[in-house]
Amino acid sequence: MAGERRNKGMRLSKLYSFKCLKPFSKEDHSQIGSRGYSRVVFCNDPDNPEAIQLNYRGNYVSTTKYTATNFIPKSLFEQFRRVANIYFLVVAFVSFSPLAPYTAPSVLAPLLFVIGATMVKEGVEDLRRRRQDIEANNRRVKVFGKNGEFSETKWKNLRVGDLVKVYKDEYFPADLLLLSSSYEDGVCYVETMNLDGETNLKLKHALEITSDEEESVKNFRGVIKCEDPNEHLYSFVGTLHFQGQQYPLSPQQILLRDSKLRNTEYIYGVVVFTGHDTKVMQNATDPPSKRSKIERKMDKIIYILFSILIVIAFTGSVFFGIITRRDVTDDGKMRRWYLRPDQTTVFYQPQRAVLAAFFHFLTALMLYGYLIPISLYVSIEVVKVLQSIFINQDQEMYHEETDRPARARTSNLNEELGQVDTILSDKTGTLTCNSMEFVKCSIAGTAYGRGMTEVEVALRKQKGMSMTPQEEDSLSIKDIKANSTKSVKGFNFWDERIVDGQWVNQPNAELIQKFFRVLAICHTAIPDVDSDTGEISYEAESPDEAAFVIASRELGFEFFARSQTNISLHEIDYMTGEKVDRVYELLHVLEFSSSRKRMSVIVRNPENRLFLLSKGADSVMFERLAKHGRQNERETKEHIKRYAEAGLRTLVITYREVDEDEYRIWEEEFLNAKTLVTEDRDALIDAAADKIEKDLILIGSTAVEDKLQKGVPDCIEKLSQAGVKIWVLTGDKTETAINIGYACSLLREGMEKIMITLDSPDIETLEKQGDKDAVAKASFQSIKKQLRDGMSQTAAATNNSANENQKMFGLVIDGKSLTFALDKKLEKEFLELASRCSSVICCRSSPKQKALVTRLVKSGTGRTTLAIGDGANDVGMLQEADIGVGISGAEGMQAVMASDFAIAQFRYLERLLLVHGHWCYRRIAMMICYFFYKNLTFGFTLFWYEAYASFSGKPAYNDWYMSCYNVFFTSLPVIALGVFDQDVSARLCLKYPLLYQEGVQNILFSWERILGWMLNGIISSMIIFFLTINTLASQAFRKDGQVVDYSVLGVTMYSSVVWTVNCQMAISINYFTWIQHCFIWGSIGVWYLFLVIYGSLPPTFSTTAFRVFVETSAPSPICWLTLVLVTFSALLPYFAYRAFQIKFRPMYHDIIVEQRRTERFESGTRTTSAVSGELPVQVEFTLHHLRANLSRRDSWN
Amino acid sequence: MSTNTASSSAGSGDPSTARKNSKRPKYSKFTQQELPACKPILTPGWVISTFLIVSVVFIPLGVISLFASQDVVEIVDRYDNDCIPAPARTNKVAFIQGASPKACNRTLTVTKRMKQPIYVYYQLENFYQNHRRYVKSRSDSQLRSPKYENQISACKPEDDAGGQPIVPCGLIAWSLFNDTYTLSRNNTPLAVNKKGIAWKSDKEHKFGNRVFPKNFQKGNLTGGATLKSDIPLSEQEDLIVWMRTAALPTFRKLYGKIETDLENGDTIHVTLQNNYNTYSFSGKKKLVLSTTSWLGGKNDFLGIAYLTVGGICFFLALAFTIMYLVKPRRLGDPSYLSWNRNPGGR
């Protein structure tokens, strides 16, 4: 196997000063053996009797919620955590007692159906998880077996102590101790995207004594004593006992399950933690479960219904008690003798009427149980799942390049999408692409790079400035260039002075050469040469770094190979203009870290001179410049400022020649520091590094553009038109953030900017004095003052708001100020100010601050927040917000895993909110209102009937009619409403973003509306009941003289209810497709079908329904006439109300629908679409089809 | 692969590169929620015409119903009070429970020609046949077949008499109505046909033709009528009618049919046995003779209701017309497209 050769001569561990020597503290290791640190692993010896005795868990992993045995009890338990379900369960039990107003099976059946449906749903979801588990458990890995060979086995069969071999691009099957790798010094690269979402490669490093060849690895015997399983990904405490020696282990030697081996041919490892003991599994907690506002409100409504239920049951019981007491007169005579009150059970005993009334109360609670919609929860769940499918299926939210459609990862929050008041957005990777492009640079005080960034273009547009001829020129050059050469990813640089080797003619050619050499050498990227095309691509730790290497490649400094100590470039010699290969000896790499903010390499060039090449943030680099290295400082600083304003990320490029002696002295000191084992080693290494990174000579600076994603400004524009507030929370510099703000039209010209910052001279002087308390106090006061000022500024504007153009405000606050603004004492004011501004930008904010800001907005305003982000640093924010949306872009899956919805591009947010959110909100809100309506309509007819049956608890209808009501006769239309209804089409939703306010202001689910629907239900029930009993009074109802009895009245009234609620659905929905027709009229049909079938069963089953329709009520014209009368009358109040409302207080969508109609009408008559600027629907439709056909034909050819 | 170019803005300009494993959602009108749909919006025209159409349909229907109801000739005679001899009226319950003769004569006058068949009903008021205890107190299986004679658990306290099951058991059967009417016109007896007053399905499927009354009214307390024990239940039509419980406390039940026409001015003498005790719960008793129309008996309510609803609709149509004329709102008026109308909503 070709890949099996070891990369000879690669000792990367020596170069990387920081990564390979992670600190460990002795204290931890002393704990080994005590509690919490008791794990013992016999390496490569899992059959050791002692190891078997330890009996650690296998590598079998199960993430399912249920197992085959506990599914039924556990899922049942889950079900009955809902109040409504408990109520129905109690009812079901009591229904076996004589208290029940109806037969037990008719109560049990719908309950079982509902519970069963939910359980099936749970089961299916769990099965899916199980399938994933099976897939993971059956992956294969090579394990060293008894036969002395590596043989393949399934993951689930791995045991603690097994020696495994993992190849490139394979996942680690368990938490492993790295023994050795294809590199001589036992390093390997690991991608931890599945763990923390970071795409950059991490270096892992085996202990020196274990990093041997395969043969010795096979005979490796040792004992690891280490910590017990825990969830800390970045810590590991353990010791390796090997050949009588003890070696401390650190996280550096641990390879975690679910991370991937990269850039390394193979590794050997010993299994330390298996299965659920692995760190990733220990970490697997369920994300916080979120519930939507509507659902929370729904619970309140359920309580209202319970109160109504109790009130009417109580009323009935009081009357029942009074009537029952009077059944026996004072002198012992029976009044209603036909009820035999003298010989009765306790439930009807006149002598103990109070007790009877109490029992009746229980009966009534069951009888009016139809007020509580048993199927509401299950219907909502079904609806939400279907809505999620629609979101997933939306072609408009599918991203071609990454092949990613939108994903609703949870279906709980669909309707919440329609109520978002504030969006909190990450910047990098969310608003921008997170693919860096090298666009400009400043070398030796001269700015290069003609291209205009999108930010600049946008800024110009904002300012309304026309372009100067020169700029237009540069743009057109860019166009020409874009057309002539193929575009290179990560490179968008054009300057005729530099490209195509022209830089050799520049006056500063030497510096230019140095500049690009630094870019080509000072990095940690690894080249990857395509053996077929010879093209080189790079694996870099960060996209910025990749952009630099690519830029230097494009400009003639092609980095093509890296060995342990050498970096090889193809270079153009500026003297001769020829292409030569140069090899630099790499002596040390002082890596980038967030505290150092710089990176340096020390190399020996082919001419045997030593150089320190360094790049870093301006804040740390300028202070390290040598006196004679500051020649171009002023210009460079000016350029850096301009670049930052143009939304670019800048780095300062410097170098320095080091003489041999100095280097030798330094190296000694540095290596000493490295080998120290004391706690302050880190500080010493830093100090040592500091010593050589000084007296630098400035060459210039780079400017990399983090490009805005496509459509971001439009999307933000639309969202703010919809009245959604957008906050950007970014880690970037203030200037960059502001400019991105302008570019994506968050900040607009004419908007007043309120800056809150601590960059004031007084505070800086205080900081210099180093009195922390004083600084904190002064900062606090300063922020307080700035907030007050902002408030008065906005207040002044709102007071003058009588005039038309209300002033808009944008708030910009930096991370340091944010720390104080988020203080308990100031947060209220901060929030108040922020909510008066139409956009808010928080720069330099940490992940923690992002989450805190989110929490502040969420709890402070009580409005719905949506957080959107793509990286691991956004996870806190995503989980904190009401809705978390993850961008499933390049930067790993961590954000997506923590999100509720995943989209590929920021611009899809527009559609997700304005279309799907709006629809889902409408649907769920209407659905719930309608549910209450239909159950009140039905439940109250029962109550009115009771008044005519001396409140004895006899329902007006046959038991089975009632139990089928929620499940068969009314369920499908309401589900169709919840899944399909739309007030206006997607296109109009986007065209009139203001429509979205219906959700934000919660107009469709306000208490007035809910109570209105309830009232409508009660009115309908009254109309149904009283009209029916009066038309079908005591007289004959057929020509043959028969009179109405209990069964006929029940059937007629019930039919009226079914017709009314279904027709109510028909007139209240806005979207009538064949599905709605099918379900609405079908439900009515099903009722009659049911009546016929059930009525034909033997009378012992069907009791009062026996042949009642076929023989009795269908041939009677008065039954049908009653039905028509009742249905129309019951719908009349709602219809009249709607007509009135549309006339005088039209809702927003009503207007849009009307406008649409008139537009279509006008454009139809004028045969021109100029009025609306759009094609009429029909035409559009036809075109659409033609195009679809055309493309289909194309794809066949 | 069917690419929907019209909607795919994301530069899918190259349909020939058909990606087999693309996760692109399939296009269909259904999944993209673009199904053709129609829904009339409530424009003034629609509102007014809907109201008008309803009123135009309902008012004639009401008139027809009223006519049908008017066609019916109905004679109602309340006799519960009059059939108690005046001296006994202070304690009617004692009288009805006593042994004194209960016969009573009533005279009815036909005011309009009544075509046969004329239905004879008795009407009870304030009688709760729909009481839960009462309704449940029967045994359908016992009625159906002699095999299940012992299924009497639901029938308490009228379940057995001295350990022997009562057939038919239960409170409903036990309280069977037992007033009888004998009719004569101009001193010639008027035949009242008591056959065919029950529902066919009841006779054939609910009440067995091999089930005979047993121990009926033999309990410690006698309720209503007795049954001839040599006639099977399926032929006891009075019982069948009675056991089809009424829905409301005021109800009529068929007593029989008169199969001759009654002329205007005929006087009908009724000799009735006033046996049934409605006095203890002050329920009224009425004898009703009625013809039927295609709509059934006499009840103006349906017609009036139709006229009312039709009238309301007509009124609403008128009102809306006036409103639209007085204060028109242009359809889709964009001035309404603003949330400024409810300031402070934010």
The residue ranges of chain A whose pLDDT is under 70 are: 1-33, 193-200, 214, 283-289, 454-455, 458-459, 461-487, 564, 574, 577, 593-595, 675-682, 767-768, 770, 798-806, 872, 889-894, 1160-1197
Residues B1, A1192: C-beta atoms closer than 8 Å: yes
Closest partner residue to A1183 (CB to CB) among B6, B11, B18 is: B6
Residues A1122, B18: C-beta atoms closer than 8 Å: no
B301 to chain A, minimum CA–CA distance in Å? 6
**Cβ neighbours of A982 in B, within 8 Å:** 33
- Answer yes or no: are the C-beta atoms of B177 and B238 closer than 8 Å: yes
Closest partner residue to B296 (CB to CB) among A948, A982, A1039 is: A1039
- Answer yes or no: are the C-beta atoms of A701 and A640 closer than 8 Å: yes
**In terms of DSSP H, where are the helices of chain B?**
44-71, 92-97, 132-136, 140-144, 171-174, 200-201, 237-243, 301-326
Order of strands, sheet of B74-78, starting from the edge strand that comes earlier in the sequence: B74-78, B285-290, B118-124, B251-258, B192-193
3-class secondary structure, A349: coil
Nearest residue of A to residue B2, measured between CA atoms:
A1192
How many whole angstroms separate alpha carbon B38 and alpha carbon B31? 18
- Identity of residue A854: T
**Cβ neighbours of A1074 in B, within 8 Å:** 35
- Joined tokens for residue B267: 């006087």
pLDDT of residue B247: 93
Tell whether residue A1150 is among the known ligand binding residues: no
For A397-430, the pLDDT digits (tens) are 998 888 888 988 877 888 999 999 999 998 877 8
Of A1083, A1132, A1097, A1133, which Cα lies nearest the Cα of A972? A1083
- Answer yes or no: are the C-beta atoms of A284 and A277 closer than 8 Å: no
Q: Which residues are CB-neighbours of B56 under 8 A, at least 6 positions away?
A: B310
Residues A949, B252: C-beta atoms closer than 8 Å: no
Q: How many CB atoms lie within 10 A of CB A430?
A: 29
B49 close contact with A: CB closer than 8 A: no
Residues B257, A1100: C-beta atoms closer than 8 Å: no
Residues A1125, B305: C-beta atoms closer than 8 Å: yes
Q: How many CB atoms lie within 10 A of CB A256?
A: 25
Distance, C-alpha B251 to centroid of its chain: 10
- Answer yes or no: are the C-beta atoms of A1131 and A1066 closer than 8 Å: no
Instruction: Based on the residue annotation, tell me whether A981 is a catalytic residue of this protein.
Output: no
pLDDT of residue B331: 67
Task: Write down the catalytic residue from A327, A394, A426, A983.
Answer: A426
Q: Assess: ipTM above 0.95.
A: no
- CB-count burial class (<10 Å; 0-12, 13-18, 19+) for B184: middle
Angle at which helices A1007-1031 and A1046-1068 cross, to 10°:
140
Closest partner residue to A1041 (CB to CB) among B221, B257, B305 is: B257
- β strands within A1111-1171, DSSP E: none
How many whole angstroms separate alpha carbon A904 and alpha carbon A902? 7
Residues B296, A348: C-beta atoms closer than 8 Å: no
Q: What is the mean pLDDT of chain B?
A: 85
Tell whether residue A19 is among the known ligand binding residues: no
**Cβ neighbours of A487 in B, within 8 Å:** none
How many whole angstroms separate alpha carbon B73 and alpha carbon A308? 46
Q: Which residues are CB-neighbours of A450 under 8 A, at least 6 positions away?
A: A474, A477, A478, A494, A495, A496
For CA atoms A121, A123, A127, A129, the dihedral sign is positive
As a whole number of Å, the CA-based R_g of chain B is 33
B230 to chain A, minimum CA–CA distance in Å? 25
Q: Which residues are CB-neighbours of A88 under 8 A, at least 6 positions away?
A: A107, A111, A114, A369, A372, A374
Of A1009, A1133, A861, which Cα lies nearest the Cα of A301? A1009
Query: What would you measure as the largest C-alpha separation in chain A, in angstroms?
Result: 132
A712 to chain B, minimum CA–CA distance in Å? 14
A633-654 CB burial, b ≥16 within 10 A, e <16 = eebbbebbebbbbbbbbbbbbb
pLDDT of residue A14: 56
Residues B171, A340: C-beta atoms closer than 8 Å: yes
| Bridge partners of residue A526, in order along the sequence | A539
pLDDT of residue A219: 80
pLDDT of residue A1175: 42
- Identity of residue A1093: I
Phi, psi of A109 (to 5 degrees): -55, -55
Nearest residue of A to residue B76, measured between CA atoms:
A1035
Closest partner residue to A339 (CB to CB) among B39, B171, B290 is: B171
pLDDT of residue A1161: 63
The residue ranges of chain B whose pLDDT is under 70 are: 1-21, 331-346
Residues A1107, B205: C-beta atoms closer than 8 Å: yes
Taking only residues 165 to 204 of chain B, the set having a beta carbon closer than 8 angstroms to any beta carbon of chain A reads 171, 174-175, 197, 199-201
Nearest residue of B to residue A1050, measured between CA atoms:
B247
- Answer yes or no: are the C-beta atoms of A945 and A1036 closer than 8 Å: no
Q: How many CB atoms lie within 10 A of CB A161?
A: 25
B229 to chain A, minimum CA–CA distance in Å? 22
Nearest residue of B to residue A1053, measured between CA atoms:
B247
